[in-house]
Amino acid sequence: MLEIRNLHASVEGNEILKGIDLTVQPGEVHAIMGPNGSGKSTLARVLAGQEAYEVTAGQVLYDGKDLLEMDPEDRAREGVFMAFQYPVEIPGVGNTYFLKAALNAVRKHRGLHEMDAIEFLKMVRGKMKLVQMDETLLNRPVNEGFSGGEKKRNEIFHMAVLEPRLCILDETDSGLDIDALRIVADGVNALRAKDRSFLVITHYQRLLNYIVPDFVHVLVDGRFVRSGGKELALELEEKGYSWLEGMTPEQIAAQPVGA
């Protein structure tokens, strides 16, 4: 599904990602953890194709295709979805209107007929239940004046509607209250499928109690310093990043996985 090889990326001349390797198989959930500023969002944005980030070395294959060659909208149409850490407000543009335009762009690309308003609304109702979206949020402008938690929930709602194949969730849990966390996690779990993979960026083990990952990777200073199973997250929660940060990246990198 996704294969990242030796990915280096910089922004405004500063190297942020310093050699990322990652392989994600269909149906897998990979959690990415790491301290603030370590490059988690940068990795997500590079995969989604944000222009400000320059890839200086490495390769990313998505379904065998060169992902980095594609425009961001084509990546989205091919099934790459990123739930933003900070969802963007678009004043005056209704959430449903926006989502219908998005869905039809995606459907058109996939050779499916474009949905009319009636068909779309019927489908949307089902998806709303999935994340228990408040009806009023449908008709309000995209993210405008949404609370932090509402914005995050809206991202998962978009994801549910667009049915992507690679879902990148950037700190979707931060800003959610306990109930909302549960609801969003249930929504994500409902979307787990054999041919759909997830990259879940989070600071908290708590989310991973609900969305149980197949793998956990720890990103420090632009590199994965540790990878393991779900128990790695527990260990991190207990010991903190300082447990890993006490060492130079070179030292960490030299350690055998699971040490």
Partner 1 sequence: MQTTETSTIEQFAAQDYKFGFVTDVEQETFPPGLNEEVIARLSAKKGEPEWMLEWRLKAYRHWLTMSEPTWANVHYTPIDYQSISYYAGPKPKGSGPKSLEEVDPEILKTYEKLGIPLHERAILAGVAVDAVFDSVSVATTFKEKLAEVGIIFCSFSEAIRNHPELVQEYMGSVVPYTDNYFATLNAAVFSDGSFVYVPKGVRCPMELSTYFRINARNSGQFERTLIIADEGAYVSYLEGCTAPMRDENQLHAAVVELVARKDATIKYSTVQNWYPGDENGKGGIYNFVTKRGKCDGANAKISWTQVETGSAITWKYPSVILKGDHSVGEFYSVALTKGYQQADTGTKMIHIGKGTKSTIVSKGISAGHGQNTYRGSVRILKGADNARNFSQCDSMLIGDQCGAHTFPYIDVQNPTARMEHEATTSKIGEDQIFYCNQRGISTEDAVSMIVNGFCKEVFRELPMEFAVEAQKLLAVNLEGSVG
β-strand partners of 132: none
Alpha helices in 81-147 (DSSP H): 95-109, 117-130, 136-139
Report the candidate in 209, 253, 252, 210 with the shortest Cα–Cα distance to residue 231: 209
41 binds Mg ion (CB under 5 A): yes
The contact pattern for ligand ATP, residues 52-91, with x = CB under 6 A and - = no contact, is x--------------------------------x------
Q: Which stretch binds ligand ATP (CB under 6 A): 9-17, 21-29, 145-153, 229-237?
A: 9-17
Residue with tokens 């295709």: 65
Q: Which does 38 bind (CB under 5 to 8 A by kind): ligand ATP, partner 1, Mg ion, none?
A: ligand ATP
Name the phi and psi angles at 133, rounded to 5: -75, 135
Size of site (CB under 8 A) for partner 1 = 35
Per-residue contact string for residues 128-147; x = within reach of partner 1 by CB under 8 A = -------------x------
92 binds partner 1 (CB under 8 A): yes
The reply on whether position 49 binds ligand ATP by CB under 6 A is no
Give the residue, chosen from 6, 25, 37, 258, that forms a contact with ligand ATP under the rule CB under 6 A: 37
Nearest to 172, CA basis, from 191, 158, 185: 185
Give the interface segment with partner 1, choosing from 8-16, 33-41, 102-110, 124-132 (CB under 8 A).
Answer: 102-110
Q: How many residues are recorded in the chain?
A: 259
Task: Report DSSP state, residue 112.
Answer: P
* 3-state SS record for 204-236: CHHHHHHCCCCEEEEEECCEEEEEECCHHHHHH
For residues 238 and 9, what is the distance between their CA atoms, to the nearest angstrom?
31
Q: What does the binding site for partner 1 look like in residue numbers (CB under 8 A)? A: 48-52, 71-73, 76-77, 81-82, 84, 87-93, 98-106, 108-109, 114, 141, 158, 162
Q: What does the binding site for ligand ATP look like in residue numbers (CB under 6 A)? A: 11-12, 16, 34, 36-42, 52, 85
